[in-house]
Structure 1
Amino acid sequence: MCRLFAITSKEPRSPMVAIEALDVMREGHDGSGVGLFLRDLGGPFQEMKDAPILSGIFTEQGLKRLDIFMMDKGFMTKYKMSIKVPKAPPPGVPKRDSYLIRAYEYPEEWDAWTEEERLGELLSIRLQLREMGEAKKDMIVFSFWPDAIMIKEIGDPMQVARHLKLDRKDLTARIIMAQGRQNTNYAINLYACHPFFIEGFSTMTNGENTAFVPIMEYLMSRGMRGYGGYQSDSEVFTHILHYTYKKLGLDLEAYKHVITPLQDDALKRHPNGPFLKSLKNACRRLIIDGPNCVIGSLTDHSLFMVQDRKKLRPGVVGGKPGVFAFSSEICGLDAAIPDRDKSKDFQPMHLDTAIVGSDRQEVRICRQTDPLPLPR
């Protein structure tokens, strides 16, 4: 199994908070990899919320190709964070030339574009760079998006964090998602490492999605950019979330109905029964098969946790006004927020969606038996 931890905080925090939470849950992951997703950034990035940030790993030759590519596109570096690592990495951690976190100025000709056009082109560029990197094995590109940083590496999470000096003062965020352990169904590949991200939506999963193939085939048939290149059976959870919002025009409450719809007898009693029955029929190939615990974040900086019907992967939510965390185990919560009221900790069941909004004031619980907000 994997171990998951996510935190949302009014004040920016170091990613080491998440790494330390993973470390106390180390009996639940094998230490073969770590993935970090940071958004709502602090430090120097706080003053450049609209600037797209490129995150990835590059060889020296790959970095040269990147620079030529980006200059040809009209991008100029606005800020870069240098991650200098020792020549000899810890045992199990590959030797890398460059870990890149770089914010860019948009090309001047983009000034006349709409925000939707700009963000759409950022997705296209990320996919182009990934394809370039896979062709020559000199680039691994995780994200290219405003106010977002993604770091992934093979190896023990704590050793990786120390190797990359992730305790640095200029690397903080108000939302941090972290996963310990690599994907277990494929060869070790950093594109298989959680969290996953597309156009402002991110998820990570502890579990096994045995319905992966029909879900993958359905998503890839939708004609939407970014649905492809799957190295993990869990990446489809991020794309189903994106599809629910962007294609279906629905909200988070409906996401649970898409991936784990109610049984037919329960639909007959639901206030939105006819609509949900139609949704279930239309999205039948997106129904997941677990067990899975999914933690995700939205474009509005909300965090959420859901379980599938099997409820065989642990998950708990807790905190206090201003800071909340989602964790595979209570000991992860204890490490990050020891002074919370533990009697208010909540473990979502299969009908629940636990949500902490961007105000970070409370945990809101939505049940699938509740009335559903009307489609946007």
Structure 2
Amino acid sequence: MCRLALKTATEPFSPYEVLEAMEAMQEGYDGSGLGLLLRGLQFADFKYNSKYPILSGIAHSEEAWARMNDFMDERGYELKYDHRFAMDPKYAQTEGRFRYFLRAYRMPERFKNASQQEKDDELLLTRLALRQNGEAHGNDLTAFSFWPDVAIIKEVGWPLEIGNALRLYDGQIKSRICMAQGRQNTNYGINLYACHPFFIQGIATMTNGENTAFVPIREWLQARQFPGYVGYQSDSEVFAHILHYTLRELKLPLEAYKHIITPLSGRELDVHPQGDFLKGLKQTCRRLIIDGPNAIIGTLSDETCLLAMDQKKLRPATVGGREGEWAIASELCGVAAMVPDRDPSLDFQPMREHTIIVPPDRKELKIWSQQDPFQLPPLA
């Protein structure tokens, strides 16, 4: 089992707060990886324009660093900000890493009048090209994300030690959302890309559990021939891709995600107010049904946060908080560490049919059930 923690707040906060909360759940991970995703960014030394995409990753050598710079220049990107981590050399995590980078760019001039879809596809293809470039040179360059208002940090080691190595306690980076996963390596080799959260075109998820339906899901997604449905160093990466497919390809609302990964039974659909539609969706997307146990935590570009469980519900997760500040974690102690001044009697553990949604306004959480109807898009 891994351990997951998410905090979302109206006022930006340091990711180190979430890393400290991870310490309360440290028996659930083994130091084989940490992933951090930050949204709603604030830098101490730069007034960030949230329209600028941020490239996140690691250059493992000076040659890889130069190659990356040349690639971005040739593609027409103008560098606006280069965040430099104040590395602490006493931590082993700093060895063999030439540069951790978070770099904000202005998009090429040719995209000035492009549609949003064209811009989104360009950012995806640029990230994938950089990843492939690194893989072709002995994995000397990793590219975790390239998207506006998102930064991702991944490293092998214990969460708090990685935070200390990168001096994440110094207030140089803050965000309104921080997702964190402490990895317990169970099925695959240690690989930076295997650390959660997983990210694709503004959509991010992280998961605690085992996805025994991984292979058929991966094959079905790859058959869509969408460029971003690649990678899969972890069986949990498909959860991000299914959410992307639900929202971006099918153009369905967030509530439909739960109906795709864990559909209701035929008997339940017979009496559901949208039963006919949901039966068709279940049949069309039957290869995307998961077989847990899994707890899935996610975020969207508008800063919506979500939590969903599988039918088995053997990987618990809890949500709690107050207006303006909410937390989701694998354990109750994680929630308590991130939002200590909440009313704990209002903490909630979802059941198999629930999707927990924290809207961007963060006023209150929404507990949605698959038994309830949801707003369907108009027919074309």
Do both share a fold (TM > 0.5)? yes
8 Å contact kept, 1:52–1:103: yes
Q: Which residue of 2 aligns with 1:357?
A: 359
| CA distance in 2 between partners of 1:167 and 1:161 (Å) | 7
TM-score using structure 2 length = 0.96
Partner SS, residue 252 of structure 1: coil
2:4 is the alignment partner of 1:4: yes
Gapped regions of structure 1 (runs ≥ 5): none
Which moves more between the two structures, 93-102 or 311-320?
A: 93-102
The 1:88–1:168 alpha-carbon spacing in structure 2 relative to 1, beyond 3 Å, is closer
8 Å contact kept, 2:41–2:48: no
8 Å contact kept, 2:40–2:175: yes
Aligned partner of 2:40: which letter?
D
Q: CA deviation at 1:31?
A: 2.4
8 Å contact kept, 1:39–1:175: yes
Q: Which residue of 1 aligns with 2:128?
A: 127
8 Å contact kept, 2:57–2:141: yes
Aligned partner of 1:114: which letter?
S
Q: CA deviation at 1:300?
A: 1.7
| CA distance in 1 between partners of 2:94 and 2:253 (Å) | 39
8 Å contact kept, 2:89–2:165: no
Q: Indicate the RMSD between aligned Cα atoms, in angstroms.
A: 1.3
- Overall identity of the aligned pairs, in %: 53
| CA distance in 2 between partners of 1:213 and 1:292 (Å) | 16
2:42 is the alignment partner of 1:15: no
Which runs of structure 2 are paired with 1:296-311 in the superposition (5 Å)?
296-311=298-313
8 Å contact kept, 1:154–1:182: no
How many residues are aligned here?
375
| CA distance in 2 between partners of 1:89 and 1:238 (Å) | 32
Aligned partner of 2:5: which letter?
F
Q: CA deviation at 1:375?
A: 2.8
Q: Which residue of 2 aligns with 1:343?
A: 345
8 Å contact kept, 1:183–1:232: no
Q: Which residue of 1 aligns with 2:51?
A: 50
Q: What is the CA deviation profile of residues 28-84 of structure 1, one whole-angstrom value per residue up to 9, with x for unaligned ones?
A: 212221100001112356631000100001021110000111111111210111014
2:81 is the alignment partner of 1:79: yes
| CA distance in 2 between partners of 1:28 and 1:314 (Å) | 12
| CA distance in 1 between partners of 2:156 and 2:75 (Å) | 31
Which runs of structure 2 are paired with 1:176-325 in the superposition (5 Å)?
176-325=178-327
| CA distance in 1 between partners of 2:40 and 2:253 (Å) | 21
Q: Which residue of 2 aligns with 1:96?
A: 97
8 Å contact kept, 1:319–1:325: yes
Which moves more between the two structures, 94-103 or 280-289?
A: 94-103
Q: Which residue of 1 aligns with 2:67?
A: 65
Gapped regions of structure 2 (runs ≥ 5): none
| CA distance in 1 between partners of 2:146 and 2:49 (Å) | 14
169, 172, 191: which is aligned to 2:171? 169
Partner SS, residue 218 of structure 1: helix
| CA distance in 2 between partners of 1:62 and 1:183 (Å) | 28
TM-score using structure 1 length = 0.97
